[in-house]
Structure 1
Amino acid sequence: MRAYRLLTEEDTSAFCHKVSAALDGGWELFGNPAYAYDPKTGKMRCAQAVIKDVPGDYAPHLNLGEL
């Protein structure tokens, strides 16, 4: 199965750490990062999609962050 996650965070080093941890866990970048203004919080947010091939079949109850 190919798992997909969209990592998001405010534009701080926390976002870079979140992506780095995913890469260290075997996830691969998928596409370009996105950057947008969140008018509700007044801050910029970042997003990066990641994918990972894992054994087994997809099921809605999977905790993708634990793969």
Structure 2
Amino acid sequence: MSCGEAAEHASVFGRLSAESTYSQLLQAIKHLGSIVSERMTGTIDFILAGHNDDLDKNRLSGVNTDWSELKRK
């Protein structure tokens, strides 16, 4: 293999490697985003869980407390 061919192969390999790394980075960012979203939803659900009792005590049990519509996916 000549020097030119070796350089061309190295260039192609480098480009493919960079594309793969970029793709893996995007997948990792999406995964982290879903983890953060799940944790935030869990925290919000935990905070709101204590307030359902307050609604019942104040005769506001008819108020819609279904927060699932606010979740984004």
Decide: shared fold, TM above 0.5.
no
The structure with the greater share of residues assigned to helix is 2
Q: TM-score, normalised by structure 1?
A: 0.30
Higher strand share: 1
Larger of the two Rg values belongs to structure: 2
